[in-house]
């Protein structure tokens, strides 16, 4: 894949679960540093190497390489227990050490009480289908200026002082979080400053987004969204560098769409197709195990994702799953009798939208030598005005086709 400049941002251009980790794992070989910048362990990033499946929730997918530096930026809400678990896993499978990890001292910390609050909220009518990892409450505490940050865990006096901001923890949590702080200390630093120095020194940096454009707190189908910005611009804010540093902006999609959690889904498949694609594509949540609802590719939503992300490259995954099927693509919505091809930011309009489809001839293999698959790729490029820069043809590290 042709890369310009020193940095690449990979984001989800649908509703999460587009296979971003596979793309990050592939692109990591051309970069020195991999950075998570938004969300927390609500993400489920799956990479398959030599037939072995690895799932990460918090640490960047670069953790499968022994020679990459993996950063957690300030925009992430950080569960120390999950980090340490995945850190041990990375040590075991890739031989990494604490030298391979940098954690922003200004990233906010998830507390056990936030996880409990998330679970309690989910059982009320306000539930949106959260992963119950405490993500929403952690961002609430952050913008409410009562949050605890990773740097606050580095000594008892720092932690005690941070707790005067309006958050309280019991004695057991206090001790447990101090203990996490001791373990994390060698990795805690100013990640923005580190990245700026590395970019100036000519290093290449890859930013790994979590969730997807339509789950973005500002631009997604509110309130059926996550609690962070999931778009490319968040890579700058969430890691502490300037937006002028971001070069390649890659949006990842599947050749169909999946959704977990509540909210409008205009291209949802009929139950018989939904079941077939879920089985073929193993569409169960990597974090929650929930079945994902399957839908047809939505060009209206994808054009919107290209706009809010400023994408200059699209990556299409899982076209092998649709092989042998008829392929339907939504090119417009019908909303209260009106045909529209622009994504409505009003969630109520989206809720009453029905998809207008075009049918494309199915392909037998997801390979550009198959004329029907090539036509599908060109159809997407023409509709959204963004070049396809990569194609995933199966779950493995090498199942990739670069046009």
- Would you say 192 or 281 has its CB closer to ligand IMP? 281
Which partner, ligand IMP, Mg ion, none, binds residue 135 by CB below 5 to 8 Å per kind? ligand IMP
**Which of 25, 31, 41, 45 is flagged as catalytic?**
45
- Would you say 217 or 300 has its CB closer to ligand IMP? 217
Under the criterion CB under 5 A, does residue 62 sit at the interface with Mg ion? no
Tokens encoding 185? 């200390």
d(CA 183, CA 80): 10
- Would you say 44 or 209 has its CB closer to Mg ion? 44
State the residues that interact with ligand IMP by CB under 6 A: 16-17, 42-44, 128-131, 133, 135-136, 210-211, 215, 224, 226-227, 260-261
Query: Minimum distance from CB of 72 to ligand IMP (Å)?
Result: 16
- Would you say 16 or 136 has its CB closer to Mg ion? 16
Which partner, Mg ion, ligand IMP, none, binds residue 394 by CB below 5 to 8 Å per kind? none
- Interaction with Mg ion in 275-304: which residues (CB under 5 A)? 286
CA atoms within 13 A of residue 221's CA, in its CB half-sphere: 23
Q: Are 384 and 302 in contact (CB under 8 A)?
A: yes
Query: Minimum distance from CB of 132 to ligand IMP (Å)?
Result: 7
Query: Minimum distance from CB of 352 to ligand IMP (Å)?
Result: 20
Query: Minimum distance from CB of 43 to ligand IMP (Å)?
Result: 4
- Would you say 106 or 131 has its CB closer to ligand IMP? 131
User: Which residues on neighbouring strands pair with residue 56, listed in sequence order?
Assistant: 45
Three state DSSP letters for 101-135? EEEECCCEECCHHHHHHHHHHHCCCCCCCCCCCCH
Cα torsion angle, 261, 267, 270, 273, sign? negative
d(CA 12, CA 3): 18
Phi and psi of 279, rounded to 5°? -65, -50
Which partner, Mg ion, ligand IMP, none, binds residue 150 by CB below 5 to 8 Å per kind? none
- Would you say 6 or 227 has its CB closer to ligand IMP? 227
Tokens encoding 344? 């409505």
Question: Pattern 21-50, binding to Mg ion, x per CB under 5 A?
Answer: -----------------------x------
d(CA 300, CA 55): 31
Query: Minimum distance from CB of 276 to ligand IMP (Å)?
Result: 21
Which partner, Mg ion, ligand IMP, none, binds residue 260 by CB below 5 to 8 Å per kind? ligand IMP
Nearest to 167 by CA among 181, 182, 147: 147
Phi and psi of 306, rounded to 5°? -65, -40
- Would you say 1 or 128 has its CB closer to ligand IMP? 128
Nearest to 63 by CA among 88, 38, 37: 88
d(CA 74, CA 85): 20
Tokens encoding 102? 């940098």
Rounded to 5 degrees, what angle do the CA atoms 333, 339, 345 make?
A: 55
Considering all CA atoms of the chain, what is the largest pairwise distance in Å, rounded to the nearest integer? 66
Three-class DSSP category at 311: coil
Query: Minimum distance from CB of 100 to ligand IMP (Å)?
Result: 23
Which partner, Mg ion, ligand IMP, none, binds residue 136 by CB below 5 to 8 Å per kind? ligand IMP
d(CA 192, CA 214): 27
Nearest to 350 by CA among 296, 292, 392, 300: 300
Which partner, Mg ion, ligand IMP, none, binds residue 392 by CB below 5 to 8 Å per kind? none
Query: Minimum distance from CB of 56 to ligand IMP (Å)?
Result: 11
Residue 17 catalytic?
yes
Under the criterion CB under 5 A, does residue 17 sit at the interface with Mg ion? yes
Task: Give the residue at shortest CB distance from ligand IMP.
Answer: 261
Residues with active-site annotation:
17, 45
Which residues are at the interface with Mg ion (CB under 5 A)? 17, 44, 286
């Amino acid at each position: 894949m042709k890369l310009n400049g020193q940095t690449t941002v990979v984001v989800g251009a649908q509703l999460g679960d587009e296979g971003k980790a596979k793309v990050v794992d592939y692109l990591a070989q051309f970069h020195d540093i991999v950075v998570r910048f938004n969300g927390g362990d609500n993400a489920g990033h799956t990479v398959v190497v030599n037939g072995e499946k690895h799932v990460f929730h918090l640490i960047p997918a670069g953790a499968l390489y022994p020679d990459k530096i993996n950063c957690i930026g300030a925009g992430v809400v950080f569960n120390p227990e999950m980090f340490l678990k995945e850190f041990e896993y990375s040590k075991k499978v890739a031989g990494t050490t604490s030298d391979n990890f940098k954690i922003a001292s200004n990233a906010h910390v998830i507390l056990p009480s936030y996880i409990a609050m998330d679970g309690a909220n989910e059982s009320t009518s306000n539930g949106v289908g959260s992963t119950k990892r405490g993500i929403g409450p952690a961002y609430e505490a952050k913008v409410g200026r009562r949050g605890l940050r990773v740097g606050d865990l580095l000594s008892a006096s720092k932690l005690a002082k941070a707790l005067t901001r309006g958050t309280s923890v019991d004695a057991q949590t206090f001790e447990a979080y101090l203990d996490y702080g001791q373990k994390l200390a060698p990795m805690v630093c100013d990640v923005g400053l580190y990245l700026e120095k590395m970019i100036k020194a000519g290093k290449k940096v890859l930013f790994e987004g979590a969730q997807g454009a339509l789950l973005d707190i500002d631009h997604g189908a509110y309130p059926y969204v996550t609690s962070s910005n999931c778009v490319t611009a968040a890579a700058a804010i969430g890691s502490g560098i300037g937006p002028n540093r971001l070069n390649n902006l890659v949006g990842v999609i599947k050749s169909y769409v999946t959704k977990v959690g509540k909210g409008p889904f205009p291209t949802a498949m009929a139950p018989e197709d939904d079941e077939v694609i879920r089985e073929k594509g193993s569409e169960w949540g990597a974090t929650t195990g929930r079945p994902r609802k399957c839908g047809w590719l939505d060009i209206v939503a994808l054009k919107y994702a290209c706009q809010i992300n400023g994408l200059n490259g699209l990556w299409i995954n899982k076209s092998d799953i649709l092989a042998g099927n008829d392929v339907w693509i939504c090119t417009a919505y019908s909303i209260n009798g009106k045909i529209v091809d622009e994504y409505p930011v009003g969630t109520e309009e989206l809720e009453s939208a029905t998809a207008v489809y075009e049918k494309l001839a199915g392909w037998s293999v997801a390979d550009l030598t198959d004329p029907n698959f090539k036509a599908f790729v060109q159809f997407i490029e023409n509709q959204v005005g963004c070049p396809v820069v990569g194609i995933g043809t199966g779950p493995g590290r090498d199942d990739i086709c670069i046009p």
